[in-house]
Amino acid sequence: MLRQGTGPVQSAIWPPGGFVRWLHVFTVSALSPPASRVTWADLCSLAPAWLAGGMTTTVTTWYLEQTSPADLVVARPLSAEADVLVGRATVPSPEFSRFLYTSVGGDNAWTDRLSWTYAQWQEALGQPGTETWVAYEKGTPAGYIELAGQADGVVEISYFGLLPAFRGRRIGGRLLSFGVERAWDLAERWPQRVPTKRVWVHTCSKDGEHALGTYERRGFRIYRTEAEEEAEPVNPGPWPGAYEPATHA
């Protein structure tokens, strides 16, 4: 998190700039008394935002939980005509999971796993208690929820969401309900685990205006809120330029 004290950092976060501004803060800091110098870690954290144009934004992160299966508020069933099925990807597949990750998170600034190697994906997906459940509409992947079993009966919803083309049709509510049910009965499929005692998730303001409400409608309760300054998010898309306006010759 950026340090919000007196000195160069506070005065430099907001004005536009770029590399020249970053270099100015570095120089002023180097000539300042030790007590008021900006740390190298702070300078490194500021550099990406400034080099990208200098703009930052306040990102709010909410941490939510359920502490009993009775907390879950199940979404209404979809009509039979919807032809939506949910199935578990029982064979860990880095290729498939990366496809889901980039397709769902591409317009929500999901970037933390973009640099992962094949081995890193294999390791994460192969952890005992980690499960990926995928919603399909008429055989096409529509979204997914990834569960990560943790110690002492805790289960985290690591990732959840729909591909853009499938949003707004109540598929998300059903998928989340199904996924939370699977979090609560996770120990039935992983005998070495103790029964689930708590299910938690975190979402942030970069995930879209409906993300927080989606979890609250399913019975999750906020237990912690954080806010910090970050570089303006860049939505990577499932491929470069995927969400840029189309141009025609």
C-alpha Rg value of the chain to the nearest Å? 21
CATH code for the domain in which residue 189 is found = 3.40.630.30
Q: Give me the pLDDT at residue 5, please.
A: 36
Please name the helix (run of DSSP H) or strand (run of DSSP E) that holds residue 138, with its range, or none.
Answer: none
Range of the domain at 28: 8-54
Identify whether 247 is part of a domain: no
2 inside domain: no
Yes or no: say if 69 and 183 are a contact pair by the CB < 8 Å rule.
Answer: no
**Reading across the β-sheet that carries 84-88, which strands appear in turn?**
84-88, 130-137, 140-149, 154-162, 198-204, 56-66, 221-231
- The helix-helix angle for 94-105 and 118-125 (nearest 10°) equals 90
Q: Which of 109, 58, 112, 113 minimizes the C-alpha distance to 230?
A: 58
**Same domain for 152 and 36:** no
184 and 115 in a single domain? The answer is yes
111 plus 220 within the same structural domain: yes
Residues 99, 125: one domain? yes
**pTM score of the predicted model:** 0.76
Query: Are 25 and 78 in the same domain?
Result: no
H runs (alpha helix) in the chain? 8-12, 19-31, 40-51, 94-105, 118-125, 171-184, 186-189, 211-217
Closest by CA to 105, choosing from 202, 235, 233, is: 235
DSSP 38: P
* φ, ψ of residue 154 in degrees (nearest 5): -100, 140
CA–CA gap between residue 9 and residue 17 (Å, rounded): 13
pLDDT for position 9: 35
Per DSSP, 114 falls in state T
What pLDDT is recorded for position 17? 47
Q: Are residues 186 and 89 in the same domain?
A: yes
Crossing angle of the two packed helices 19-31 and 40-51, in degrees rounded to 10: 160
- 176 in a domain, yes or no? yes
Does one domain contain both 187 and 169?
Answer: yes
| Side-chain-facing half-sphere of 113: CA atoms under 13 Å | 24
Residues of the chain with pLDDT under 50: 1-18, 35-38, 46, 49-50, 52, 248-249
pLDDT of residue 135: 98
Rounded to an integer, what distance in angstroms lies between the CA atom of residue 122 and that of residue 88? 17
Report the number of distinct structural domains present in the chain: 2
Using an 8 Å Cβ cutoff, are 162 and 171 in contact?
A: yes
Say if CB 163 and CB 157 are below 8 A apart. no
The pLDDT, as a whole number, for residue 20 is: 52
